[in-house]
Amino acid sequence: MKAIISGAGGRMGRALMESVKDFPEIEVVGLLEKADHPAVGKEIGGIRVSSSWENVSDEAEVIIEFTSPRATLEHLSMAREKKISMVIGTTGFSGSEREEIREAGKTIPILFSSNMSFGMNLLFHILEEVSKKLPLDYEVEIVEMHHRHKKDAPSGTALTLGEIIASARGKDLSEVAVFGREGETGERKREEIGIHALRGGSVVGEHRVIFATEGERLEFAHTAESRLSFARGAWRGALWLIHQPPGLYSFQDIIVGK
């Protein structure tokens, strides 16, 4: 498989380049970065970083995207034009931007997941089943922490956790989400799903889901100690994706065959 890495000079770009050595069936044939990035024009792993698609190989079968919503949508347009698959790990999209990605899935295969970690995606599946079985008097709180440089809050993963739990309980997250609390908030409503974002230091990613009822608390936690877990997941996803017909897929399609 021949791949392009977008955001090659960033944290995830470097993790992707480091981890690709574990996948001998993958060849990186292009590296992209925004025009003003200091990595442009330099080589990473023997490949020159470019700010233009014109300077990357036409043989690419997939592009891996962990950047910003704006850059991702720009590259999505090029992926559609070149008819190549796209793995999207970018977060922070608006509703209309997510709709644009859904529309693009009608013409090319797209793997779109807020978290590419195998462990977290297994937790997504587990929490769906748990949420269906626990009585509604188990109240839900989600706490996430990331490094100080993360630009969106709460994390896309925390929102996905909330969406999965809300859906399993027959609700839409927008109806029940409470983002942090301050002041005279009144008594907690049972159906609320509290979501709290912490930022600081160099934390790669921590997520904790708490189900609390009178006299008992059930907790699930996932800690990402390295971005390599996301990078390896993205490569595994790309290898799966290039054999799929056009469509919008999530990591759940890979891990549990949904």
Active site residues: 146, 150
How, if at all, do strands 43-44 and 109-112 pair?
unpaired
Nearest to 158 by CA among 116, 122, 208, 203: 208
Side-chain-facing half-sphere of 138: CA atoms under 13 Å: 17
Alpha carbons 98 and 6: distance in angstroms, whole number: 19
Helix orientation angle between 118-133 and 228-241, rounded to the nearest 10 degrees:
90
30 DSSP 8-state letter:
E
Helix (H) or strand (E) run with residue 95 in it:
helix 95-104
Specify whether the backbone of 49 is left (phi greater than 0), alpha (psi in -120 to 50) or beta: beta
Which string of b and e fits 26-61 if b means at least 16 CB within 10 Å?
bebbbbbbbeebebbeeebeebebbeebeebeeebb
Token output for 119: 């462990």
